[in-house]
Amino acid sequence: MDQTGYILLSRMSAMLRGTDVLATNLANAETPGFRANRPIFATHLQRQRDVTGPQGGQSVAFALDRATWRDGASGPLTSTGNPLDVALQGPGFFAVETPRGERFTRAGRFTLAGDGRLVDMEGNAVLDSANRPVTFAPNDTRIEILGDGTIRTENGQVGKLRVVQFGNEQALRAEGGRLYASDETPEPMARPSVVQGSLEGSNVNAVLEMTRLTSDVRAFQMVAQFMETEGKRASDAVSRILARAA
């Protein structure tokens, strides 16, 4: 394959990766606390040998897949009236205990398990500031969660939600649409802003993502057609050379 083919393949690979990221965003447009992702690409300039500059003055660049950037903007808050639904205004993450270790989430749709533990939608225990599962007694019926994360009932204080922050949120590794893992030690937030009876929605704009996806698909088709034309041109050139040599 000649250089043109490799450049087209690099472009198609980058576009395929971008389409995959957009599809993931769309699939999680209704996932509480989900944050949209964006692919980051770069170009690699291929210099021609034994010449002072590219022929015709044009640069030959390959598309390189560098990383994925996560949009840190908060999603909209929706009032649910459920006392176990909580949202964070501004930065921060709730901490939960999973079979894989401690994980972090913005999705505050919590429920009570049969043993009185506060759990997330996947059954992971929500942790308090002492890094223990938040647990209610059978006679705790009126649950109140204050703005700083303090949890209390008619029988007194139960604990305080563990709300943490990270120096580099981009280093968090997504596990599904709700959980994040980190190699960085999280720092407890001194003054979190917790809202009881509300949920943070996804920050994905479904209309915008669909527009981007449509545009990327059309561009992919155009590149594929160009590659097919370029392949035919190369094949015709080889055929003409062989015919002249015969």
* 235 and 121 in a common domain: no
- The whole-number pLDDT of residue 41 equals 63
Question: In the structure encoding, which two tokens stand for residue 232, read together?
Answer: 């035919």
What contacts 88, CB < 8 A, 6 or more positions away? 74, 94, 106, 108, 163, 192, 193, 194, 195, 200
Low-confidence stretches of the chain (pLDDT beneath 70): 1-6, 41-66, 246
Instruction: Decide: helix, strand or coil at residue 100.
Output: coil
State whether 155 and 221 are in the same domain: no
Residues 88 and 172 in one domain: yes
SS3 235: helix
Which residues on neighbouring strands pair with residue 153, listed in sequence order?
A: 156
Backbone angles phi, psi at 149, to 5 degrees: 95, -5
Q: Based on the domain organization, do 7 and 63 belong to the same domain?
A: yes
Cα–Cα distance for residue pair 145/17, rounded to 1 Å: 42
Q: Are residues 61 and 10 in the same domain?
A: yes
195 and 219 fall within a common domain = no
Q: Do 93 and 61 sit in the same domain of this protein? A: no
Same domain, 146 and 48: no
Across the strands, what pairs with 98?
A: 101
State the pLDDT at residue 126.
97
* Residue 9, pLDDT score: 72
Q: Can you give the pLDDT at residue 13?
A: 78
**pTM, to two decimals:** 0.76
Give me the pLDDT at residue 58, please: 56
Amino acid, res. 14: A
pLDDT, position 135:
96
Provide the 3-class DSSP secondary structure of residue 125: strand
Shared domain for 48 and 156, answered yes or no, is no
| One domain, residues 184 and 214 | no
Q: What's the pLDDT at 230? A: 73
Question: Is the distance from CB of 135 to CB of 191 less than 8 angstroms?
Answer: no
Same domain for 64 and 82, yes or no, is no
Tell whether 10 and 122 lie within a shared domain.
no
* Number of domains within the chain: 2
User: Residue 39's domain spans which residues?
Assistant: 3-72+204-245
